[in-house]
């Protein structure tokens, strides 16, 4: 599963109105967004005590994710926050082994703590946007938007607790969509919403064929950030950059940052604040290879790095960057231990709906980043498709109403272990 890296850009926040339609409802309406069904539940206030555990989960999952999609040392840009928020909405409908595997694979705290922590962080991040002062005292605009959206098949019924969690912690309901009759039209609706949130930086999150007539729900998260640096970079001489493909000359930029440098065993880093200094980009250069650095950031290493206050001046020189990564995360998540959620006939999402069996059919993610001398712009989006377990087609009817033979055997080798002939099933062994 190799990420594709190309040029591109980012999202915007839309607050979805809550229609008090009751805790349990049937999605009705025509067209992509004709109806929005939610629990009659207000958005819950934050609980700061829940934040550290969720931050640890996002960091741990992020380093796991990077360890897989970045294993070839190539370009990657992804948002563990966006992926985790989308999967957290799915987790509210999971039960049994499916729920336990999701908790372990994604490093999640208990469900109540997960919802409260994510809800608190979402509200906290919203305060980072607005007018700020940069290092020269000039006014600058910081944009940080996040949005969640859920599309459900018209006529499907969703569980009260699931709808309540979406409303209380994720600020959304379930929009009625003709997923069964027009999955391609539904796919276009999902992509149009993502494009709007990302200012057309991510326009094709769900590729053709990712939604099928058996798709019952799509859950999406979008994230958008745009801000100038607190201290503006200046131009620098071209840089000889050595990567997986060899050494080449690239443009570069430079800035001097008092008190923003960090160093540790095997690495050095700089924290580059954005305007207002509430957001920052921390860049880390390993003394050795990227594989060693990725290993150091696991097991809480990333959290420790980001929670450590820089303690020295740093002269930073780096290339401008413009990247896009597109990821199909099904194989990644299965490899991390989240297997049951994708297993047809085994996945347990009866906390989402009891009208039919569902499983996760697709998990798509895109990340986009552009940074230059003036500032940073980034976008990310994640979409999860929930598919119904199709009833098996019956092509043969077999009734054992006469004597028959049977064989107990090893499948892989075809070794017969026991041969059976039944002439009188009413007879009983002595």
What's the pLDDT tens digit per position in 305-327?
Answer: 888 898 889 999 889 998 899 99
Per residue in 220-232, pLDDT tens? Answer: 999 999 999 999 9
Percentage of the chain modeled with pLDDT above 90: 54
Residue 406 is predicted with a pLDDT of 65
Residues 6+ apart with CB under 8 A from 430: none
Q: What is the pTM (predicted TM-score) of this model?
A: 0.85
410 pLDDT higher than 70: no
Residue 413 is predicted with a pLDDT of 65
Residue 3 is predicted with a pLDDT of 45
426 pLDDT higher than 50: yes
Q: Out of 2.40.440.10, 3.30.300.30, 2.40.170.20, 2.30.39.10, which CATH number does the structure's domain 234-318 have?
A: 2.30.39.10
Q: What is the largest CA-CA distance in the chain?
A: 96
Strand partners, 147: 222
Residue 278 is predicted with a pLDDT of 87
CA dist., res. 201 & res. 15, Å (int)? 20
> Whose structure tokens read 């019956």?
394
Mean pLDDT within 2-6:
41
Q: Write out the two tokens for 232.
A: 């503006």
CA dist., res. 174 & res. 358, Å (int)? 16
304 pLDDT higher than 60: yes
CA dist., res. 171 & res. 161, Å (int)? 14
217 pLDDT higher than 80: yes
Residue 392 is predicted with a pLDDT of 54
- Whether residue 164 contacts residue 23, with contact meaning beta carbons closer than 8 Å, is answered with yes
CATH 3.30.497.10 fits 4-228+321-388, yes or no: yes
Residue 411 is predicted with a pLDDT of 63
Q: Is 38 left (phi over 0), alpha (psi -120 to 50) or beta?
A: beta
Please give the mean pLDDT across all residues of the chain: 85
Between residues 6 and 414, the one the model is more confident about: 414
Domain boundaries along the sequence of the chain: 4-228+321-388, 234-318
Residue 419 is predicted with a pLDDT of 65
9 pLDDT higher than 60: no
For residue 63, give the nearest of 297, 264, 293 by alpha carbon. 297
Mean pLDDT within 374-390:
92
Give 136: exposed, middle or buried? Use CB within 10 Å, 0-12, 13-18, 19+.
Answer: exposed
- Identify the weakest region by mean pLDDT among 91-105, 154-168, 234-248: 234-248
Mean pLDDT within 202-212:
95
3-state secondary structure the chain: CCCEECCCCCCCCCCCCCCECCCCCECCCCCCCCCEEECCCCCCCCCHHHHHHHHHHHHHHHHHHHHHHCCCCCCCCCCHHHHHHHHHHHHCCCCHHHHHHHHHHHCCCCHHHHHHHHHHHHHHHHCCCEEEECCCCCEEEEEEEEEEEEEEECCCECCHHHHHHHHHHHCCCEEEECCCCCHHHHHHHHHHHHHHHCCCCCCCCCCCCCCCCCEEEEEEEEEEEEEEECCCCEEEEEEEEEECCEEEEEEEEEEEEEEEEEEECCEEEEEEEECCCCCEEEEEEECCCHHHHHHHHCCCHHHHHHHCCCCEEEEEEECCEEEEEEEECHHHHHHCCCCHHHCCCCCCCCCCCCCCCEEEEEEEEEEEEEECCCEEEEEEEEEEEEEECCCCCCCCCCCCCCCEEEEEECCCCCCEEEEEEECCCCCCCC
Mean pLDDT within 234-259:
89
């Amino acid at each position: 599963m190799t990420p594709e890296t190309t040029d591109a850009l980012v999202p915007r926040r839309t607050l979805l109105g809550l229609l008090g339609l009751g805790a349990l409802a049937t999605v009705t309406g025509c067209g992509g967004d004709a109806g929005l069904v939610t629990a009659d539940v207000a958005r819950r206030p934050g609980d700061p005590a829940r934040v550290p555990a969720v931050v640890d989960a996002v960091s741990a999952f992020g380093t796991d994710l990077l360890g897989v999609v970045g294993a070839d040392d190539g370009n990657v840009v992804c948002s563990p926050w966006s992926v985790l928020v989308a999967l957290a909405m799915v987790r509210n409908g999971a039960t049994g082994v499916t729920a336990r595997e999701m908790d372990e694979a994604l490093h999640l705290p208990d469900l109540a703590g997960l919802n409260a922590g994510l809800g608190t962080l979402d509200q906290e991040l919203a305060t980072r946007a607005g007018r700020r002062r940069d290092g020269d005292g000039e006014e600058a605009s910081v944009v940080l938007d996040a949005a969640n959206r859920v599309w459900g098949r018209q006529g499907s019924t969703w569980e009260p607790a699931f709808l309540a969690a979406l409303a209380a912690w994720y600020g959304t309901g379930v929009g009625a969509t003709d997923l069964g009759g027009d999955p391609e039209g539904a796919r276009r609706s999902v992509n149009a919403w993502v494009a709007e949130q990302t200012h057309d930086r991510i326009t094709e999150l769900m590729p053709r064929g990712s939604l099928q007539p058996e798709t019952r729900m799509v859950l999406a998260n979008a994230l958008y950030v745009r801000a100038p640096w607190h201290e503006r970079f200046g131009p620098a001489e071209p840089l000889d950059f050595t990567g997986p493909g060899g050494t080449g000359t690239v443009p570069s930029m430079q800035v001097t940052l008092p008190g923003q440098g960090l160093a540790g065993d095997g690495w050095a880093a700089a924290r580059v604040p954005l305007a207002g200094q509430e957001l920052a980009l921390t860049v880390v250069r390993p003394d050795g290879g990227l594989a060693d650095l990725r290993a150091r950031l696991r097991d809480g290493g990333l959290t420790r790095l980001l929670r450590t206050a820089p303690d020295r001046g740093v002269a930073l020189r780096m290339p401008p960057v413009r990247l896009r990564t597109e990821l199909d995360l099904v194989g990644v998540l299965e490899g991390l231990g989240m297997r049951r959620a994708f297993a047809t006939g085994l996945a347990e999402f009866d906390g989402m709906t009891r009208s039919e069996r569902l499983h996760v059919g697709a998990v798509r993610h895109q990340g986009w980043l552009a940074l230059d001398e003036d500032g940073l712009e980034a976008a990310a989006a994640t979409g999860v498709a929930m598919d119904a377990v199709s009833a098996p087609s019956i092509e043969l009817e077999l009734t054992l109403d006469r004597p028959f033979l049977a064989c107990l055997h090893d499948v892989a080798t075809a070794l017969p272990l026991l041969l059976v002939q039944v002439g009188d099933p009413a007879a009983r062994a002595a």
